[in-house]
Structure 1
């Protein structure tokens, strides 16, 4: 506590008026300039505490990406549209905040970039420091080894000289892979210092460098990589151009005009299923196989390959995966004069029910000429049934007995009129069209038009004799997912590095073992001390030190701890 005199002096210093021009008036508080502020911000950003906070924020920012549907080539684009339709209040708000493109959003990218910079700023100085430590020899033995957590000493009366004892200690430590230095004491004795476990810190650095490598790999993939989906029917081909993609996602650094110029043809698709109707797993797929032909360029020779779900094809750095399949009913449309308007069009029908039942549409621009010779659009909305039971089941509609196309049937609904200028590939706008009533060749009493491949039941006539629709057959389609990832090798090496780094940092122990030999009071006797020190908690340190001492101690020598 301050004395009354000190309190009075302090009060006089704070209340006494200052004279103009005094030294106190010239004192100003230090202010950080722009350069100092940048240095302070850099030190904060590159601290391990901030790196951990950013890593936590990154994991927190990833949660919306796993809970909400995302606009990407790997997901159905209609899922986002359906979600927004169901949540009309909060949906537009989340859309503006980029919650449906989380991994490409500004806020996620900012956290990602800051974490990347923070880790580099943390690791590079530590790497340089560790490289210096690797070149340093072990430290000299301390004067008082008894303070070490593992310490043993004894008097050696075997007559072995100090030099021989130190040489034996040096050889024993080198045999245990210690880095060794040797020195002498002023009293005529000497010491040997050994250290090992330098790779423990190296493992820690490898782990963090590999983490940076994985982050860099994801960034490279997001910028230079791309994904796409292609649906093709048997006998059809596609070229690796954006016009042939059904869906795609390109990174910012991808030039759509410079994609690898390969092409692929689906020769045959084979699907096998569980055959037993009474088995609980009846209808489940057993195997999918796509036999394809491909060329790496127009002038390259054609090659053949077989794709399975877990056996992709790699062409020019692009991995082609077999991801889905279905049926493509084939139809032919003729006008009232018998002229072919649509010739054997195979349109993929996508699954909308169990056992391979799918739905799809056919659109023919100006494909219908009414009785007044006025051309109109023709739209056909269909349901494909692989194994038709022979009749529509009341209350269930179009059902299939199995996923195998044993008795295929096509259920059609026709529309004529204006289908819009660009109604889309798999959608059809019928708001300005009229439904056309068609006769049913299979079930005359059923309003749904059912076509089968049986003769006389595969053709339906358009009204007023304006044309016909023929169900010609069935093909199978397969969906191929294309993935170009230039960071695969970097991510693979980094993943291996993370495992190696963890093994090194957790399995390697940083240990120091010291041996000091001094002359004792008795003749032909030396004083031997062995001690050890670990950089972290090490339950096996005493065993290590005891093992070194056991090789130096005579069999009958007593040990003092």
Structure 2
């Protein structure tokens, strides 16, 4: 053996630091990759990833999400200034589009594919493979017995027909005057397992496919021709498009709310919501009925009814006698449809001679609408959701509304920054108006509560992954039932002139196997013989 110090100084073996190092590095990378792949594609890893996916989805259910309600996200960030921005940087307000959720999702998908494909190949091979040869000694099997003291070829044919009638896969092997019958049953268990896991895989694919090629948008739709809208992104209050969807991919249709009817119990609980909607699609118009849990099925989109409320109609007459109308949806704040909102008049008090206006003479109203005024109006809460005795309470403001600043503003509240800065101040005492009633403001201008129009909030959605998810859910339940009901077992019979013996082996946990084995051996005994039946299906037989 040559030791390092036996070689002359400066001598080295060719490729020792080059080819050998590359070869070692290659084998190391291959070995580590192979171990990582085996670990990733194991069923244990798939279960861990499935658990992590469920845990990762919790913030999406607890915290508001930008693709569903961006205004709630802004409200949450304003209320939690310390750790709200940290959660925002970690994508907790866009959980299902975050990199970490996508990574778990993708790893779970790869793990299931790598785990199921080899199992499917093995199961398919087991399905086409004939049952194995009977063991030499039946007494080593969990169940064994002697069926008869003698056996003939007729007994072998009768036993095989009996097993096939009970849906056993059989194989007959003859060796001299000895006939062996191997029978197997219960592949439904492994088939159910595979169907269950492939269904889970299809669910994951369906959700991913829907997020790639789906889209949705929400909008408040007020009654009347003036508020009809067509399906474009600019007409939605909020929207989200899939990664593979562009604005030009949206289907073309238009909607108009004609009427809305609601019925309530005496305690104010809603019974029915029915919206009569005019739908224009492919150049034709039709009247459709939109109800809760009964969406409109349009070509390329579904329209769902989410809620409804009231939009007060205000008419303002400025100091030059010019009138302006405003229809503003008010948001319900309780189940009795006590609603809050604002009405703004930024383009009023313009001098008709000079065409100029005082920027500080813009008018806004912060209001509370009560569909049915209670006995004590000071409680500021409606007594019933229907309009039995409506009242509109308004607080006038005058000054700079802030529309010209370029900052995004809510259509349901006045700009608090303008109020805090003193650029928008209260203008007179609070008002309470009935429908049709007019009030005069301190500068002689007038505000009239004309009445209300009803509005509905709708969700327009297209999810092409829904059929895949539905099929996967059905297959998942079917696979689960098959997995729970299937019991794989093997039965062996040896028919010889010296006797008929039998043995049984359950391949899975099957408490009732002993009883089934006794039933089969009893049916196989000559005393319980049945007329020979010829199976109509092709036999699986191997003659050795």
Q: Please indicate, yes or no, whether the TM-score normalized by the shorter chain is above 0.5.
A: yes
- Give the conservation status (yes or no) of the 8 Å contact 1:366–1:375: no
Q: Secondary structure at the residue paired with 1:170?
A: helix
Question: Does residue 198 of the first structure (1) align with residue 184 of the second (2)?
Answer: no
Provide the residue aligned with 1:426 in structure 2: 412
Provide the residue aligned with 1:307 in structure 2: 290
Q: Secondary structure at the residue paired with 1:406?
A: coil
Question: Does residue 355 of the first structure (1) align with residue 336 of the second (2)?
Answer: yes
Q: Which of residues 542, 548, 552 is equivalent to 2:520?
A: 548
Runs of 5+ consecutive residues of structure 2 not aligned to the other structure: 530-544
Provide the residue aligned with 2:271 in structure 1: 286
Provide the residue aligned with 1:5 in structure 2: none
Moved more, 499-508 or 410-419: 410-419
Moved more, 329-338 or 223-232: 329-338
Q: Which of residues 457, 460, 463 is equivalent to 1:479?
A: 457
Question: Does residue 105 of the first structure (1) align with residue 76 of the second (2)?
Answer: no
How far apart are residue 190 of structure 1 and its match? Answer: 0.9
Q: Which of residues 66, 75, 83 is equivalent to 1:90?
A: 83
- Give the conservation status (yes or no) of the 8 Å contact 1:361–1:426: yes
Provide the residue aligned with 2:533 in structure 1: none
Partners of 1:100 and 1:117 lie apart in 2 by 26
- Give the conservation status (yes or no) of the 8 Å contact 2:256–2:279: yes
Provide the residue aligned with 2:50 in structure 1: 55
- Give the conservation status (yes or no) of the 8 Å contact 2:148–2:526: no
Provide the residue aligned with 2:254 in structure 1: 263
Partners of 1:78 and 1:244 lie apart in 2 by 17
Task: Evaluate the alpha carbon distance shift between residue 354 and residue 140 of structure 1 in structure 2; reply closer, same or farther with a 3 A threshold.
Answer: closer
What is the aligned-residue RMSD (CA, Å)?
A: 2.8
Partners of 1:24 and 1:533 lie apart in 2 by 61
Task: State the TM-score, normalized to the length of structure 2.
Answer: 0.86
Q: Which of residues 187, 197, 203 is equivalent to 1:214?
A: 203
> Could you list the per-position Cα deviations for residues 145-189 of structure 1 after superposition, in whole angstroms to 9, with x for gaps in the alignment?
2211111114335xxx52101101110110000111101134x21
How far apart are residue 37 of structure 1 and its match? Answer: 4.2
Partners of 2:82 and 2:424 lie apart in 1 by 34
Partners of 2:60 and 2:335 lie apart in 1 by 29
> Could you list the per-position Cα deviations for residues 453-504 of structure 1 after superposition, in whole angstroms to 9, with x for gaps in the alignment?
25xxx11234433x43221111111111122111111000000111111111
- Give the conservation status (yes or no) of the 8 Å contact 1:413–1:435: no
- Give the conservation status (yes or no) of the 8 Å contact 1:415–1:433: no
Q: Secondary structure at the residue paired with 1:366?
A: coil
Q: Secondary structure at the residue paired with 1:231?
A: strand
Partners of 1:332 and 1:213 lie apart in 2 by 56
- Give the conservation status (yes or no) of the 8 Å contact 2:398–2:427: no
Task: State the TM-score, normalized to the length of structure 1.
Answer: 0.84
Partners of 2:372 and 2:7 lie apart in 1 by 104
How far apart are residue 49 of structure 1 and its match? Answer: 2.5
Partners of 1:69 and 1:321 lie apart in 2 by 21
Partners of 1:46 and 1:529 lie apart in 2 by 44
Runs of 5+ consecutive residues of structure 1 not aligned to the other structure: 1-12, 276-281, 439-446, 521-526
Partners of 1:389 and 1:167 lie apart in 2 by 89
Task: Evaluate the alpha carbon distance shift between residue 171 and residue 384 of structure 1 in structure 2; reply closer, same or farther with a 3 A threshold.
Answer: same
Provide the residue aligned with 2:152 in structure 1: 162
Q: Secondary structure at the residue paired with 1:217?
A: helix
Partners of 1:370 and 1:414 lie apart in 2 by 21
Partners of 2:525 and 2:33 lie apart in 1 by 60
Q: Which of residues 374, 379, 395 is equivalent to 2:357?
A: 374
